[in-house]
């Protein structure tokens, strides 16, 4: 785990510096302290899902960009880029797993315009997962039920087969709404037209 934290910290620092931001700039924009961000960059801090989302939003990157190790990223992008393939569930790239309540795995990253992830929310859990990002996102529930609440208090309950489009820059919160785990598939849709 310590090695993953150091790798994540190095990637965060590289993304931050590539954007011309100092730690104090990132702190001001995310609402997180300079000390906490420094700990993350040094591999000793363990940010929550919400904190990762805040950081990614400010940097204009996806959680995949921040959390996927280079060797895994190369496998996802380069090996499968120009070929058809099967990716077994046991071969997915784990992006994060927080307290066993929310797990995000990458399925496909071979195209700069979209990425596909699987989110698993623990059944019966009271925890919520909040996000806001710079890309559109399409989610489809495969099993279980999920509640999605937007900043304006609009709330939806999604069941297997239901889909939801979340536009860029919309704050939203998801939670498992069933006793059994909820598995959903999410397509991150980016635009290179700037």
* Contact yes or no for 43/6 (Cβ under 8 A): yes
What percent helix, strand, coil does the chain show, rounded to 5?
A: 30, 30, 35
In the chain (194 residues long), the average pLDDT of successive 10-residue segments reads: 71 82 92 92 84 87 72 50 68 77 82 84 83 90 96 95 95 93 93 57
Structure confidence at residue 84 (pLDDT) = 65
Tell me the C-alpha to C-alpha distance, in Å, between residue 76 and each of 27, 72, 98, 107: 31, 6, 22, 8
Structure confidence at residue 78 (pLDDT) = 46
Query: Hey, what are 110's tokens?
Result: 């071979």
Handedness of CA 40, 63, 141, 130 (dihedral sign): positive
Q: What is the rounded distance in angstroms from the CA atom of residue 176 to the CA atom of residue 179?
A: 8
Structure confidence at residue 158 (pLDDT) = 98
Structure confidence at residue 9 (pLDDT) = 83
Question: Which domains are assigned to the chain?
Answer: 2-67 (1.10.260.40), 70-189 (2.60.120.10)
């Amino acid at each position: 785990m310590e090695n993953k934290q150091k790798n994540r910290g190095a990637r965060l620092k590289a993304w931050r510096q590539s954007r011309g931001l100092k730690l104090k700039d990132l702190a001001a924009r995310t609402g997180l302290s300079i000390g906490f961000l420094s700990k993350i960059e040094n591999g000793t801090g363990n940010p929550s899902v919400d904190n990762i989302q805040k950081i990614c939003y400010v940097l204009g990157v996806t959680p995949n960009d921040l959390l996927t190790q280079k060797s895994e990223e190369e496998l996802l992008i380069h090996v499968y880029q120009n070929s058809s393939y099967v990716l077994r569930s046991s071969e997915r790239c784990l992006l994060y797993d927080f307290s066993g309540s929310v797990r995000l795995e990458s399925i496909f990253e071979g195209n700069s315009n979209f990425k596909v992830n699987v989110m698993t929310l623990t059944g019966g859990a009271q925890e919520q997962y909040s996000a806001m990002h710079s890309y559109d996102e399409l989610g489809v529930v495969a099993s279980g039920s999920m509640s999605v609440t937007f900043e304006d208090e609009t709330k939806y309950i999604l069941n297997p087969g239901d889909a939801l489009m979340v536009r860029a820059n919309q704050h939203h919160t998801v939670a498992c709404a069933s006793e059994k785990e909820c598995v959903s598939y999410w397509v991150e849709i980016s635009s290179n037209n700037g």
